[in-house]
Amino acid sequence: MKFVSLLALCALGLTASAQAEDGYDLWLRYHPLEKAAASHYAAIGATVVSASHSETANVTRDELVRGLSGLLAKKVTAREAITGNGAVLFGTPENSRTIAALHLPLEKLGPEGYLIRAAVVKGKPVTVIAGSSDVGVLYGAFRFLKLIQTRASIDHIDIASAPKVKLRLLNHWDNLDGSVERGYAGSSIFKWWELPAHSSQRMVDYARANASVGINGTVLINVNASSMILTREWLSKVARLADTFRPYGIKVYLAARFSAPIEIGGLKTADPLDPEVRAWWKNKADEIYHSIPDFGGFLVKANSEGQPGPQDYGRSHADGANMMAEALAPHGGVVMWRAFVYSHEVPVDRVKQAYDEFKPLDGKFRDNVIVQVKNGPLDFQPREPFSPLFGATPATAMGMELEITKEYLGFNTHLVYLGTLWQEVLDSDTFAKGQGSTVAKVVDGTLFDKKLTLMAGVANIGSDRNWCGSIFDQANWYAFGRLAWDPEAQAKDIAADWVKMTFTDNPVFDTAAVTLMMGSRETAVNYMTPLGLAHQMGTSGHYGPGSWIDNVGRPDWNPVYYHRADAQGIGFDRSPSGSDAVSQYAPALRDRLAKVETTPKNALLWFHHVPWSQPMKSGRTLWDELVARYGQGVAEVDTMATSWAKLKPYVDTERFDITADYLRIQRRDAQLWRDASVAYFASISHLPLPAGEKAPLHSLGYYKALEYPYAPGQGTPGRKIKPPPVDDAPTP
């Protein structure tokens, strides 16, 4: 490249391809296309046209200018009228007479949908991006840029899209001190200390990234909430963020602590039926809406893991949720009431408790309440069956909560693409209204005709320059947005788009990277919790193996509670002869899950206590199969590392190296998982290792003594630490 043209590109802000990449630009890199690909877009002219100057129209214009000039490596300018061929015209029928005159079928796309269409205006060919609202148009603009980023054809373009889910929200588990519960990407991106005086460019880029995948709301703080956020001083900080995010169609929401009326309101009680308490919440809602007129609402974790809630006063979850909903209703706000409740004082299988609690409340919630249910009945495990609450409450709006941050899946250093995990859940058939009653149809509201729908994802975003702690974890943020827009989207298509936008459209790279991503979750399941095992991670930090742990105060926080291994076999009997958790599923599914023979192998030990000697379809016994699975997981990580190594020529050094290094960490951890788990379960089964299987490197005692008191994501508790174990591996 000649010096002069480099300078010209610098002026356009197009220097990044020459630089190392740190991941900050996520999937919105807009690097110049290769010549051949760019030629497909020759018909796109050098102007973007809009007659509107609303805040959202302005950011849409800026994004199109930035994206098109970057991708097509030419100077693109914004105009108010069409002046030449190939203009990209965007707007709504209200703010553009030209668009109104096209009589586009926008009504059926709802307030957030968009249409992208080739048209001829005053004899000039143009591309029209239209919607009923400015935000719909913004989504269309991002889609248009994505088409070019992924080198899709735009000849005779005619695309329409509308979100299937109404609330598409990130849930930040960020604390006011800047720490992030279960956060593995640095500290919080929200600089509360600097707010409201300063809101950084990062907040704008955060909003851009979210809007680019259709995310339309964010819960700013941890569900283990501090009442402080509801004080006047802190609400002014929230208002500043709301102002920054608003042009991008992103509303702010807050996690609300149930006992706030006592803690910051000076009341003696938080009883939801107490008139003073009700008045307090009403006034608080009025105060919030005064400075944030489009405030989204509250997310509440109540009577769960020690959090206060209505049951402290003998009231139900519905009483609590409805009280807050009543306060928000005049302003159009919603309450997202979490169903993640369980108690160690209740002598019932933990995975049954949320259903037991919420099923009887079906139909008792106000219209602006949605119950937010984790995808599985336990807690974001590498694999769980779907929560039986999906499909069980036809009279209640049920939203889904996914965990984007990889609390139980190796943090940021294991490469695990979650698109496949989420698709597996969404595709699951609840049989609630016969075959085809998928979880996706519960979530998008079509199964029970619900208007208030929600998909929430616990964010994996932090202050790390690459946002998510690793490059491949960005794919999980991206995939969450895409699946929230369309819960029936395919994980593989999403991965393919992300790879092209994030790295390159080179087919060698893309095929290998997508293959690596698509197998990655199953690999993690294999080396961590094969065959339906769950919650085998070390307690507190949830990093590394801990199947032997049996001494944590609450039984249901101990891995032994979940695997139930004894001399005869392993697994949790949830059949009718055990805890009967299967009875919470629709009869067609219940009957299948009740028997070992008809239970899918990947959920076997979730539902059944199975003898070690049980023959499996593979021809092996259960014990041999279990050991083989752990080893398979390790071998698969080797394959992932090898295939990544071959991709070096296609990736910049910075992103190649961090991924390669993290795969080495993952390989080390996979081996640890395999060895520690095999050592422990062998001590219970008293069975020899199958022929050809290597003995664990260390003794069981060594693994048991390992601790990770400083693993990230646990806040800053006063940690008790023990000395590390003595290395007892045989000298090589």
Q: Which residues are catalytic?
A: 305, 379, 407
Residue number with CB closer to ligand GCU (405 or 466)? 405
Q: How far is the CB of 706 from ligand GCU (least distance, A)?
A: 20
Per CB under 6 A, 343 contacts ligand GCU:
no
Residue number with CB closer to ligand GCU (182 or 251)? 182
Q: How far is the CB of 342 from ligand GCU (least distance, A)?
A: 10
Q: Which residue has the tokens 């032994």?
A: 560
Residue number with CB closer to ligand GCU (222 or 322)? 222
Q: How far is the CB of 325 from ligand GCU (least distance, A)?
A: 20
Q: How far is the CB of 558 from ligand GCU (least distance, A)?
A: 14
Helical ranges in 150-247 per DSSP H: 201-212, 232-245
From the list 572, 561, 575, 562, the residue with the least C-alpha distance to 609 is 572
Q: How far is the CB of 422 from ligand GCU (least distance, A)?
A: 16
CB-based contacts of 554-559 (< 8 A; 24+ apart in sequence): 554/344, 555/344, 556/342, 556/344, 556/350, 557/344, 559/535
Per CB under 6 A, 274 contacts ligand GCU:
no
Angle (deg, nearest 10), helices 491-502 and 134-149: 70
Distances (CA, A) of 644 to 74, 654, 658: 33, 14, 11
Residue number with CB closer to ligand GCU (305 or 367)? 305
Per CB under 6 A, 675 contacts ligand GCU:
no
Task: Indicate which single residue of 22, 181, 312, 505 sits in contact with ligand GCU (rule: CB under 6 A).
Answer: 181
Residue 246 gets which letter from DSSP? G
Per CB under 6 A, 224 contacts ligand GCU:
yes
Per CB under 6 A, 257 contacts ligand GCU:
no
Per CB under 6 A, 379 contacts ligand GCU:
yes
Burial class (CB within 10 angstroms; exposed 0-12, middle 13-18, buried 19+) of 593:
buried
Per CB under 6 A, 573 contacts ligand GCU:
no
Other beta carbons within 10 Å of 635:
15
Angle (deg, nearest 10), helices 317-328 and 275-291: 40
Q: How far is the CB of 570 from ligand GCU (least distance, A)?
A: 24
Per CB under 6 A, 278 contacts ligand GCU:
no
Task: Indicate which single residue of 61, 168, 172, 182 sits in contact with ligand GCU (rule: CB under 6 A).
Answer: 182
Q: What is the 3-state secondary structure (H, E, C) of 439-504?
A: HHHHHCCCCCCCCCCEEEEECCCCCCCCCCCCHHHHHHHHHHHHHHHCCCCCHHHHHHHHHHHHCC
Rg (CA), the chain: 26
Residue 621 forms beta bridges with which residues? 615
Site string for ligand GCU, 27-66 (x = CB under 6 A): ----------------------------------------
Q: How far is the CB of 282 from ligand GCU (least distance, A)?
A: 27
Residue 129 forms beta bridges with which residues? 90, 116
| SS3 category, 301 | coil
Task: Indicate which single residue of 30, 337, 340, 342 sits in contact with ligand GCU (rule: CB under 6 A).
Answer: 340
Edge-to-edge strands, sheet with 158-161: 77-79, 47-49, 87-91, 124-130, 114-121, 158-161
Site string for ligand GCU, 387-426 (x = CB under 6 A): --------------------x-------------------
Per CB under 6 A, 243 contacts ligand GCU:
no
Residues touching ligand GCU: how many (CB under 6 A)?
9
Site string for ligand GCU, 501-540 (x = CB under 6 A): ----------------------------------------
Per CB under 6 A, 208 contacts ligand GCU:
no
From the list 114, 95, 166, the residue with the least C-alpha distance to 332 is 166
Per CB under 6 A, 301 contacts ligand GCU:
yes
Residue number with CB closer to ligand GCU (381 or 420)? 381
Per CB under 6 A, 172 contacts ligand GCU:
no
β-pairing, 124-130 vs 114-121, is: antiparallel
Q: How far is the CB of 476 from ligand GCU (least distance, A)?
A: 17
CA distance 299 to 220: 10
Calculate the CA 3 to chain-centre distance.
44
Residue number with CB closer to ligand GCU (230 or 255)? 255
Binding site for ligand GCU (CB under 6 A): 181-182, 223-224, 301, 305, 340, 379, 407
